Structure 1
């Protein structure tokens, strides 16, 4: 018979070291804290050089017709554009100079929910606004526009707002909304059951002219009401809204002279998309940008005639989000054929 070796008794386990246990517990707590700090520091994305855009406030939605809803919100500083969402889908995008949009191609007799997000020049989106809801009315076969709103009155409500009121318009199928225009620019909209509105975002010491139009479910729009002129109190010398660093030169091409202008856009509420150039004290030409309006420096060149040695005076102003013209830039002199 073969001898079978008997295994040796296992070595006794070392006695626990209380000090080592304390060190391990401290290490676990520290690692957990590091994980927590790292997670919190990046919870909303890297905020880089100043954080994400803010949340748009004051968001409202009103049906404008059986197929449109008018969405409005307050401005967010330092943004490049706004994105409007219906449910979870992006449906509209507007430049920062706008704070409202008509969402179109909707279904009649349908409830919708909208949110708005601000986007900065780096393409970063801020948080969604609170959700607002609106229901479109039923579609109707209607070829008749509402009557013109009557009895429009207004008063300044501080230096940056006005309050308007009017008598209800009539329509054979009912008024769905009222549009408020400042000059030729639509600046506000309210539901058909309202006969008053407060228009904000205005400038102190500025002359305005407001009209009201009624709209029905078939998108028929009434004639404009009588214009109501109003002046906001306070003073505005125009410096805050004027383009700066205007430079002027001339060049010759194809036997003619052209004036070459560059300037820095005013730092106003939103992106400026329209400018007016004055030549020798009178409006000479207008410049309108699309969605790619410059934010750092704008430039424009226009025809000035075929004669050399003619000295012109030029200045520029911008159309603002409230529909008015801002202040003029400093006037510059430029002589054809003189170069820069």
Structure 2
């Protein structure tokens, strides 16, 4: 099968489309013929090996996982002997390493039935990005109707889903983005948009019940300043950075964990793990129209390196998709 393979860290030049063996599912694994995959900031960080502090887990001299890509949608091609829910031919979406390929092998519990109303390209946008928004708002932020919610990074990969979900939960949403993305963020449900090129949302005097930070470009002190005393700050910090850093956005996340342990403010650090329950919830939200993927650009598999470059350099809005 064709796959986007990486043997060393670096720019998009280290990514090559190569022929590699098609994996065989064992145990509770399913083999999915990939129709589409989406690009995340995670793919860029793994390509660069950035930040350096993450290398003990992702690989010191070279990446442990050689095939890039995480989110996918397609049809089940084969199943292992312990698979119970899925069968060959099922249309599915999910999250697993190695999605930039013609086939991906994944545990059954990170794969679920595709939303019936979405194309494969749209469904591939959901797993990591929409799950991050779901966990940040519902599980950590405990969002409720009538609350004032601010999303910093409202036009990135996660942001439009976060704005749509928060609005769907009945919150009053403020989205922070650049001038060119203001209309997009409003269309997702933000009642108020802050253009960060003209205004500093941490100094505008507004206070919020919940702040979801998806960028990691503000200090912890500045982010806490926009919260009501009993408000909650949820830190993700998953955006694309300049690279070559020791800690990158992990520095902000570590400071947030310290503040949370001291118990002085409600700070939560977001780690979104894939699972069948959350994938089922995302399917329900998509089929009910609460969330609708926004796709900036699509690239064929052979141009997956260019798709990552576009995310890194051009500040892509919403999702970038790779079609297979």
What's the TM-score, normalizing by structure 2?
0.24
Query: Whose helix fraction is larger, Structure 1's or Structure 2's?
Result: 2
Higher normalized contact order (CA 8 Å, seq sep 6+, divided by chain length): 2
What's the TM-score, normalizing by structure 1?
0.24
Query: Whose strand fraction is larger, Structure 1's or Structure 2's?
Result: 1
